[in-house]
Homo-oligomer: A and B are copies of this chain.
Amino acid sequence: MRPLCGVLANIQLICRRFTVKEKFSRKRQVLLSLKIKNMQNPSFEEVLVPLRKLAKEQGNTVQKLKDTNAPAAEIQKAIQALKLTKESIAEKEQEFASNIMKVDRFKMEDLLKRRFFYDQSFAIYGGVTGLYDYGPVGCAMKANLLQIWRNHFIIEENMLEVDCSMLTPEQVLMASGHVDRFCDYMVKDVINGECFRADHLIKAHVEKVLNSKKSLETCQELTDILARLDGFSGEDIANVIKKFQIKSPTTGNNLSEPVPFNLMFGIQIGPTGLSRGFLRPETAQGIFVNFKRLLQFNQGKLPFAAAQIGNSFRNEISPRQGLIRVREFTMAEIEHFVDPSEKAHPKFHRVANERMVFFSACNQVDGNPPSCLTIGEAVRDKLVANETLGYYIARVYQFLLKVGVDPNKLRFRQHMSNEMAHYATDCWDAECYTTHGWIECVGIADRSCYDLTQHSKATGVRLVAEKRLPEPRQVEMVRCVPDKRSIWLKFKANGANIIKTLENLDKEACLHLQKQFESTGHAIVDLGDKCFELENNICKIEKYMKAEHVEEIVPSVVEPSFGIGRVLYAIFEHSFRVRDNDEQRTVRNSEFVNLKILCKFFIFSIFPFPQSWHPDALRTKNISHKVDDSSGSIGRRYARTDEIAIPFAITVDFDSLLEPHTATLRERDTMHQVRVPLSELPTVVEDLSSGKVVWSDVMKMYPVFEQQEGTVKK
């Protein structure tokens, strides 16, 4: 028996594979947590053991090549061969597991769209790819998700929340590197002009060829391309397209030369057309440019964290994955500013024992599976760069579990050096497994001092913090002492200017002057419009010591960055299920979404007899609710509320007319019902909604109501 953690890690690897090869998403199947048990089924092992043995041998070969310092290209190819075997294992495991439980994405998306959780924007105008609108339920869930985020991070960690402009002038994004580097390579269909992301095209093409010819020999060049694709230049891309005669996948037409396409939406601010800008591609820059004000708000002290929730925009070339790849999206970003020499975190001990799956860059390169560690172990072993980064990884983990991400479909993957953003020193993605494969939901990066340094350079504003030295430091200073009388005598009217210039020379300029005097006996001073030659004896260069009490430091930044739409989508998939034993429920759709946390403020009430009881009592308690006074049966109405993930439903019926007036309160997941006096309902509902009581408490407080849902008397 392999230990649970190893199996889990292996599954993580299997799942990872599906990001690479898309055919599994076409099969609409994902591995669910139950699979872990089934994966150890002996009959499956008979098939898997020989493959695993092969993989082990190939792993040894890779190690041997590395130990003998073989050429990098050879090592890469051996790794690719190993990967292919691992993918075969994954395919088999997938095959075994797929029949057990699966998420039917199309059924789920149908529900999400039919009940308007979200849907394509401007659909009556034909829609725009990559743009989505949230309807009432989706919007309530998104708002709840953000509220939980605010409590979990901003309030619990005492962060400074800001709300900055989306319209951003060009200079800001020039300094941040986005104008030059926030690009994907694009090719066009030369006949109809359709645009494609070049790397996606090549990947798809290579994988198609690889799938058709699986022998290692013929595949070596292709695997080589896959391994290097992330670092390809435009020329490399052009060569591959030419060599393999890659055509448009929709028309078969020829493709243009690849051109870099910047993903930012350009914009002109003001009427003159002279002030260029962009819609922000991330919320982070708004925090960086406000660093000085925020530091001042924090009374000049480090560390502190600022946070922002808001929309960002990326002009994706051809978005095609629903909520996963969109052109406008809500982000929640934190920038934690910390002294680069003190990255320990005072609350790290509180999270040190959180256990999660780490997929390190090394394991990815070496073809090894992810590993299951506590964050304490990960930081101790230097897998995660420092405590502050580790603390946020653990806090992200806690948050994702809190809002309903399945821990068995969550891993933290380290960026490899060729995919790391230009600024980052260490970066981990919280990835959730979905039918689209592993998708990045949160990025947690140590951006070092890149951003503040860049904005300082661009503006001349020193974005630094002052750090009190443990004891004053003696610093050598240099100044220039001009012989004023000689200067006046020699230079007359220009004397004053020369004296002023000499007195204001900085340390470096003084030393340069001294060097000139020492080697040539004279030196040249530049007064802007005119230069003057000075003799050696006309000024003195003096050195002296000065005590400094503070030093200036450029803070490092640790940034957890959440894609809210992606987290929401992962939660949808992780909580979607079809109810079993549903024969008695004759209603149209029995799928439903089990979204406990996200919906707890959204209460539904059913009123065949709206006269009997007034929902105003709920309103005054700020509890969201909806009245269903349609003519459908009670069962049909419950099904409707189940579909939109409403946790509790109230039914006022004929019995409510009897004294004492009561109504039915029903919980969605258990489908259990109790009979509650009308006068007590608002309080019970408020307490359930705020989490003060849970359903099992309510079940003890009130008599259970046994009536069948489908047969309630009318």
In addition to A140-B161, A165-B328, A270-B315, 11 A-B residue pairs with Cβ atoms within 8 Å of each other are A124-B455, A124-B459, A125-B458, A131-B167, A134-B163, A135-B290, A136-B161, A136-B162, A139-B162, A158-B619, A268-B315
Q: Could you say which of A128, A138, A328 has the most chain B C-beta atoms within 10 Å of its C-beta?
A: A128
Query: Does A294 touch B at the CB level, under 8 Å?
Result: yes
Query: Does A289 touch B at the CB level, under 8 Å?
Result: yes
Also in contact, A133 and B290, with CB within 8 A (given A161-B143, A630-B299) = yes
Stretch at the interface among A95-103, A115-123, A488-496: A115-123
Instruction: Check A161 against B133 for contact (C-beta < 8 Å).
Output: no
Query: Does A69 touch B at the CB level, under 8 Å?
Result: no
Instruction: Check B136 against A328 for contact (C-beta < 8 Å).
Output: no
A225 to chain B, nearest CB (A): 24
Residues of A265-299 contacting chain B, CB below 8 A: 265-272, 274-275, 277, 279, 286, 289-290, 292-294, 296-297, 299
Instruction: Check B161 against A289 for contact (C-beta < 8 Å).
Output: no
Instruction: Check B135 against A293 for contact (C-beta < 8 Å).
Output: yes
Chain B residue contacts of A463, Cβ below 8 A: 124
Task: Report the separation of the CA atoms of residues A125 and B173 in the bound assembly, to the nearest whole angstrom.
Answer: 11
A2 to chain B, nearest CB (A): 40
Query: Does A461 touch B at the CB level, under 8 Å?
Result: yes
Instruction: Check A122 against B623 for contact (C-beta < 8 Å).
Output: no
Proximity bits, A249-271, B CB within 8 Å = 1, else 0 = 00000000000010001111111
Query: Does A628 touch B at the CB level, under 8 Å?
Result: yes
Chain B residue contacts of A123, Cβ below 8 A: 289
Query: Does A195 touch B at the CB level, under 8 Å?
Result: yes
**CB nearest to A616 among chain B residues:** B156
Query: Does A633 touch B at the CB level, under 8 Å?
Result: no
Can you report 25 residue pairs joining A to B where beta carbons are below 8 Å apart? Answer: A115-B297, A116-B293, A121-B164, A122-B168, A122-B289, A124-B455, A124-B459, A125-B458, A128-B275, A133-B162, A133-B286, A134-B164, A135-B160, A135-B294, A143-B161, A151-B622, A155-B619, A156-B619, A165-B328, A166-B311, A166-B328, A167-B328, A195-B271, A270-B315, A299-B630
Chain B residue contacts of A138, Cβ below 8 A: 163
Query: Does A674 touch B at the CB level, under 8 Å?
Result: no
A256 to chain B, nearest CB (A): 12
Instruction: Check B155 against A125 for contact (C-beta < 8 Å).
Output: no
Query: Does A303 touch B at the CB level, under 8 Å?
Result: no
Instruction: Check B461 against A299 for contact (C-beta < 8 Å).
Output: no
**CB nearest to A286 among chain B residues:** B133
Interface of A is mostly: mixed
Task: Report the separation of the CA atoms of residues A116 and B289 in the bound assembly, to the nearest whole angstrom.
Answer: 13
A136 to chain B, nearest CB (A): 4
Query: Does A313 touch B at the CB level, under 8 Å?
Result: yes
Query: Does A624 touch B at the CB level, under 8 Å?
Result: yes
Query: Does A171 touch B at the CB level, under 8 Å?
Result: yes
Proximity bits, A383-414, B CB within 8 Å = 1, else 0 = 00000000000000000000000000000000
Task: Report the separation of the CA atoms of residues A124 and B171 in the bound assembly, to the nearest whole angstrom.
Answer: 11
Task: Report the separation of the CA atoms of residues A168 and B134 in the bound assembly, to the nearest whole angstrom.
Answer: 15
Also in contact, A167 and B124, with CB within 8 A (given A161-B140, A626-B158) = no
Chain B residue contacts of A20, Cβ below 8 A: none
Also in contact, A155 and B122, with CB within 8 A (given A116-B293, A165-B132) = no
Query: Does A193 touch B at the CB level, under 8 Å?
Result: yes
8 nearest A-B residue pairs (beta carbon): A134-B163, A136-B160, A121-B165, A133-B164, A131-B165, A195-B271, A124-B461, A124-B459
Query: Does A142 touch B at the CB level, under 8 Å?
Result: yes
Chain B residue contacts of A292, Cβ below 8 A: 124
Query: Does A522 touch B at the CB level, under 8 Å?
Result: no
Query: Does A577 touch B at the CB level, under 8 Å?
Result: no
Proximity bits, A18-33, B CB within 8 Å = 1, else 0 = 0000000000000000
Chain B residue contacts of A712, Cβ below 8 A: none
Instruction: Check A163 against B133 for contact (C-beta < 8 Å).
Output: yes
Chain B residue contacts of A630, Cβ below 8 A: 299
Chain B residue contacts of A143, Cβ below 8 A: 150, 161
Residues of A286-326 contacting chain B, CB below 8 A: 286, 289-290, 292-294, 296-297, 299, 311, 313, 315, 317-318
Q: Return the contact of A317 from the options B116, B267, B271, B289 (Cβ within 8 A).
A: B271
Task: Report the separation of the CA atoms of residues A150 and B168 in the bound assembly, to the nearest whole angstrom.
Answer: 29
A45 to chain B, nearest CB (A): 47
Task: Report the separation of the CA atoms of residues A455 and B627 in the bound assembly, to the nearest whole angstrom.
Answer: 29
Query: Does A585 touch B at the CB level, under 8 Å?
Result: no
Instruction: Check B265 against A623 for contact (C-beta < 8 Å).
Output: no
Chain B residue contacts of A156, Cβ below 8 A: 619-620
Instruction: Check B125 against A289 for contact (C-beta < 8 Å).
Output: yes
Task: Report the separation of the CA atoms of residues A150 and B623 in the bound assembly, to the nearest whole angstrom.
Answer: 11
Query: Does A523 touch B at the CB level, under 8 Å?
Result: no
Query: Does A186 touch B at the CB level, under 8 Å?
Result: yes
Query: Does A327 touch B at the CB level, under 8 Å?
Result: yes
